[in-house]
Amino acid sequence: MHNITIRVKQHDQEIIAAVGAAGTGNCLLAVRTPPREIIRPYYDPIAARPGETGCDPDLYLNPPT
């Protein structure tokens, strides 16, 4: 069983949530936009792995290059 991590950040009028299983690289990334829509933005799955950005709202806010 893995610990679940939940990280949330607000940027402008968007709310970004990242939910993942610690140490697995599995990540659910979602953004609530000002018109109250939920989007699931693309991110590089390698960046969600441990030792990289990890499962964090920064996958959307500051994606690795």
Residue 1 confidence (pLDDT) above 80: no
Q: What is the 3-state secondary structure (H, E, C) of the chain?
A: CCCEEEEEEEECCEEEEEEEECCCCCEEEEEECCCCCEECCCCCHHHHCCCCCCCCCHHHHCCCC
Q: pLDDT (tens digit, 9 = 90+) per residue, 49-58?
A: 888 999 999 9
Q: What is the pTM of this model?
A: 0.88
Q: pLDDT (tens digit, 9 = 90+) per residue, 2-47?
A: 799 999 999 999 999 999 998 888 999 999 999 999 999 999 999 9
Give domain limits for the chain: 4-61
